[in-house]
């Protein structure tokens, strides 16, 4: 059974629309992350949360907003979608200790037309 | 800005051969390194970690770390076609909440 659940697996959106990517983890981890990967760019860090608090944000655009309603939940809201946002978005989690490697979910593949 | 550089970009080795992949961090404050493997269409899976100078071996996989030069390498002996994948190096600092990944080495093991 997958321990990090991302929904949906595939998503097609029109330019200018808004979408929410869902992530839940059942590993008891305290830290959660969002990464993005596309053909044009390597795996790119976006956000990190610890105990539902934003710890690091490397996303320049305010169109990307993480939302944490529960400790094991970190959604990603993307507004005013652009074709350049097309990518696979990975959620990851780890224990909140320095030497813990993030464990990745299976990703949401987003295509913006 | 913290960067992780990997080389080569791609590598072809024959089945049964040795694959050697390299990774260097540009940030002197980095303390933790990991190697991940990502098969096509899948998510990255952590292979090995290394935090201290020296070498660590797990089965066919060996990692080295030189903290002075912030260089780590991954060696895969007796390479198998199933090892064909994108290999990602990752690094983070003590007290940081950001694990940065390199752009990867694409390994192809030819039967």
SS3 B51: coil
Which of A43, A101, A107 has its CB closest to that of B46? A101
Q: Are residues A58 and B92, on separate chains, in Cβ contact within 8 Å?
A: no
Q: Which backbone phi and psi does A100 adopt, to 5 degrees?
A: -100, 125
**pLDDT value, residue A60:** 75
Judged by phi (left if over 0) then psi (alpha if -120 to 50, else beta), residue A28 lies in: left
Question: Is A45's pLDDT higher than 80?
Answer: yes
Residues A95-101: what's their mean pLDDT? Answer: 81
DSSP A73: B
**pLDDT value, residue A99:** 80
A39 and B CB contact within 8 Å: no
Contacts of A77 (CB under 8 A, 6+ apart): A18, A19, A20, A21, A64, A65, A66, A67
Interface test with B, best of A43, A46, A58, A109 (most B CBs within 10 A): A43
Dump pLDDT digits (tens) for A14-30.
Answer: 999 999 999 999 999 99
Could you give the CA distance from residue A112 to residue A82 in angstroms, rounded to a whole number?
6
Give B28-33 contacts, CB < 8 A, sequence gap 24+.
B28/B70, B29/B93, B29/B94, B30/B2, B30/B70, B30/B91, B30/B92, B30/B93, B31/A98, B31/B92, B31/B93, B31/B94, B32/A98, B32/A99, B32/B91, B32/B92, B32/B93, B32/B94, B33/B63, B33/B65, B33/B72, B33/B89, B33/B90, B33/B91
A35 and B CB contact within 8 Å: yes
Q: Are residues A103 and B95, on separate chains, in Cβ contact within 8 Å?
A: no
Interface test with B, best of A29, A101, A104, A106 (most B CBs within 10 A): A101
Check: CB of residue A65 under 8 Å from CB of residue A76. Answer: yes
In chain A, beta strands by DSSP E: 4-7, 10-13, 19-25, 31-37, 44-50, 53-57, 64-67, 75-78, 87-94, 103-104, 108-112
DSSP B60: T
**pLDDT value, residue B59:** 97
Residues B17-28: what's their mean pLDDT? Answer: 96
Dump pLDDT digits (tens) for B40-97.
Answer: 999 999 999 999 999 999 999 999 999 999 999 999 999 999 999 999 999 998 878 8
**How many residues in total does chain A contain?**
113
Dump pLDDT digits (tens) for A56-72.
Answer: 888 878 999 999 988 89
Question: Is B2's pLDDT higher than 80?
Answer: no
Question: Is A98's pLDDT higher than 80?
Answer: no
A31 and B CB contact within 8 Å: yes
Dump pLDDT digits (tens) for A1-18.
Answer: 679 999 999 999 999 999
**pLDDT value, residue B96:** 80
Dump pLDDT digits (tens) for A74-89.
Answer: 999 999 999 999 999 9
Could you give the CA distance from residue A70 to residue A67 in angstroms, rounded to a whole number?
9
**pLDDT value, residue B94:** 83
């Amino acid at each position: 059974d997958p321990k990090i659940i991302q929904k949906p697996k595939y998503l097609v959106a029109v330019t200018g629309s808004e979408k929410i990517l869902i992530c839940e983890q059942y590993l008891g981890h305290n830290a959660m992350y969002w990464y993005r990967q596309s053909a044009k760019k390597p795996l790119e860090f976006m956000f990190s949360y610890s105990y539902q608090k934003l710890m690091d944000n490397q996303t320049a655009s305010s169109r990307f907003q993480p939302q944490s309603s529960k400790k094991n939940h970190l959604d990603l809201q993307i507004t005013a979608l652009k074709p350049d946002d097309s990518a696979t978005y990975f959620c990851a989690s780890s224990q909140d200790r320095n030497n813990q490697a993030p464990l990745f979910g299976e990703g949401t593949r987003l295509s913006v037309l | 800005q913290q960067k992780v550089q990997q080389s080569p970009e791609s590598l072809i080795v024959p089945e049964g051969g040795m694959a050697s992949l390299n990774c260097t961090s540009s940030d002197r404050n980095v303390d933790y390194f990991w190697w991940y493997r990502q098969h096509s269409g899948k998510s990255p899976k952590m292979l090995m970690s290394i935090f201290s100078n020296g070498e660590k071996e797990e089965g066919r996989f060996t990692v080295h770390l030189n903290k002075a030069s912030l260089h780590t390498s991954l060696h895969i002996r007796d390479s198998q076609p199933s090892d064909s994948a994108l290999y990602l190096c990752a690094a983070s600092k003590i007290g940081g909440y950001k694990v940065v990944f390199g752009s990867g080495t694409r390994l192809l093991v030819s039967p």
